[in-house]
């Protein structure tokens, strides 16, 4: 029943899907005290480092965008590639990707929890062969829908475990392309490697896998996301290459990752997943520094 409802959401026009999502986000902000608290705390950190004053209007917009992010997943995972392609504005930053491929590089596409990251991934997968690292959803009924959706257009998925990482590295060494989320807290108790690095002025346990893959694969690293346009008008793609190679030092490299995530957030601040507990203490990880990292 739930899976059928999910597919029905996927069949809705984008504008209606987003209106439903806006209502879901508004209700979550009103009814879930934990979700509201996490969103407020994280969004306030961003407001402080950017010199803004957090207010109810900005916070309400953040809740609404998070709701859209939930309902649009149904479109991202069930829509045909022709339908998705019709939702995108002409992209004026794809030339960064073309330049990297012309130079003979493998590419690591890095998509933070910003805008619609699944639709962004399908945009890339429809244009280049790509292998995407993913963590299976907790809801088992969602897994086949997610895997089928992400595989549309030729994408290959690799689980977030040791065999999956080996598959990514093999792809890079063959001058292929991979996709990874940089701001998912590593599962330290299951072997996920990370360091505490500054993000929005506060320590966040940040993956070291991304810079390690970049070094081992001698890859170009391009951050990207799909910005939602207002009134269900579609999406605008952004591709931003890293300005310098990753540092060898793990903390310095993790800081580079977080700085790039913040740079993309600046483009569409309300569309970041502020309700995600980015600053949590993961089981198995060393304690977070007592003082904020600078």
pLDDT in tens, 204-221: 999 999 999 999 989 999
Q: In the prediction, which pLDDT does 6 show?
A: 78
- Report the relative pairing of strands 107-110 and 177-180 from DSSP bridges: parallel
Q: Kindly report the average pLDDT of the chain as a whole number.
A: 89
Q: In the prediction, which pLDDT does 141 show?
A: 64
Strands (E), 61-187: 107-110, 131-134, 156-159, 177-180
| Prediction pTM value | 0.91
Per-residue pLDDT tens over the stretch 27-50: 998 888 899 899 999 999 999 998
Concatenating the DSSP letter of every residue in 124-138 gives HHTTS--EEEE---S
Q: In the prediction, which pLDDT does 150 show?
A: 64
The vertex-175 CA angle with 172 and 179, nearest 5°, equals 45
Q: In the prediction, which pLDDT does 63 show?
A: 94
Per-residue pLDDT tens over the stretch 268-284: 999 999 999 999 998 88
Alpha-carbon span 9 to 74, nearest angstrom = 6
The residues spanned by each domain of the chain are: 88-271
The vertex-182 CA angle with 283 and 226, nearest 5°, equals 135
pLDDT tens by residue, the chain, 294 residues: 666 777 888 899 999 999 999 999 999 988 888 998 999 999 999 999 988 876 778 888 999 999 999 999 999 888 888 999 999 998 999 999 999 999 999 999 999 999 998 899 999 999 999 998 877 666 676 667 666 666 665 678 777 778 888 989 999 999 999 999 999 998 877 778 899 999 999 999 999 999 999 999 899 999 999 999 999 999 999 999 999 999 999 999 999 999 999 999 999 999 999 999 999 998 888 998 875 555
Alpha-carbon span 170 to 168, nearest angstrom = 5
């Amino acid at each position: 029943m739930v899976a059928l409802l999910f597919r029905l959401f996927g069949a809705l026009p984008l504008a209606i899907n987003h209106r439903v999502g806006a209502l879901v986000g508004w209700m979550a902000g009103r009814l879930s005290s934990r979700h509201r608290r996490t969103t407020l705390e994280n969004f306030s950190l961003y407001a402080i480092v950017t010199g803004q004053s957090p207010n109810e209007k900005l916070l309400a917009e953040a809740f609404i965008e998070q709701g859209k992010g939930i309902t649009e997943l149904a479109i991202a995972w069930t829509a045909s590639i022709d339908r998705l392609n019709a939702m995108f504005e002409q992209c004026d930053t794809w030339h960064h990707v073309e330049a990297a491929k012309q130079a003979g590089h493998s590419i690591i596409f890095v998509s933070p929890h910003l805008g619609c990251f699944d639709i962004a991934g399908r945009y890339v997968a429809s244009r280049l062969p790509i292998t995407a690292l993913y963590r299976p959803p907790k809801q088992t009924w969602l897994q086949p829908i997610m895997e089928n959706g992400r595989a549309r257009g030729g994408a290959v998925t690799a689980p977030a475990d040791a065999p999956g990482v080996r598959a990514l590295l093999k792809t890079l060494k063959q001058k292929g392309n991979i996709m990874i989320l940089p701001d998912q807290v590593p599962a330290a108790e299951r072997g996920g490697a990370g360091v505490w690095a500054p993000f929005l002025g506060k320590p966040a346990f940040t993956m070291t896998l991304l810079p390690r893959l970049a070094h081992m694969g001698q890859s170009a690293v391009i951050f990207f996301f799909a910005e939602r346009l207002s009134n269900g008008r579609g999406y605008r793609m952004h591709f931003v290459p890293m300005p310098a190679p990753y540092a060898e030092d793990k903390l310095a490299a993790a800081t580079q990752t977080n700085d790039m995530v913040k740079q993309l957030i600046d483009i569409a601040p309300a569309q970041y997943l502020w309700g995600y507990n980015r600053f949590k203490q993961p089981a198995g990880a060393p304690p977070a520094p007592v003082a904020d990292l600078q």
